[in-house]
Amino acid sequence: MRSEPAYFVYILTNRIGGTLYVGMTNNLIRRISEHRDGSGSIFTRQHKLHRLLYFEVFERPEEAYQREHNIKKWKRSWKIHLIEEHNPHWVDLFPSLNTH
């Protein structure tokens, strides 16, 4: 049986209350690994954005792209509210991805 592709919208930070970065990918583990090793983007490398705080899964790339685009336009306080609804202690979720 063929599994359907997944697309992800994610939020990274460097520390609790720190800089936020919103991105989209079709391979969350690979992309976060790239951010962590410094090859993800110049912005995430400069700001040391390695902590995965939040992610959502979508079936279609258009849905993920639209969600990423919308979240990027949000006020910072709205992004923080989204994060803290699901991850109130700003725990790095990346280690839990590698156990699945």
Give the chain's domains with CATH numbers: 7-97 (3.40.1440.10)
**What is the Cα–Cα distance from 23 to 8, expressed in whole angstroms?**
8
pLDDT in tens, 21-48: 999 999 999 999 999 999 988 999 999 9
Q: What pLDDT does 4 receive? A: 67
Residues 6+ apart with CB under 8 A from 46: none
Instruction: Please give the C-alpha separations between residue 39 and each of 17, 29, 48, 68, 85, in angstroms, as whole numbers.
Output: 24, 14, 11, 20, 30
pLDDT in tens, 56-96: 999 999 999 999 999 999 999 999 999 999 999 999 999 99
Region for residue 38 given its phi and psi (left: phi exceeds 0; alpha: psi -120 to 50; beta: otherwise): left
Q: What are phi and psi of 42, to 5 degrees?
A: -60, -45
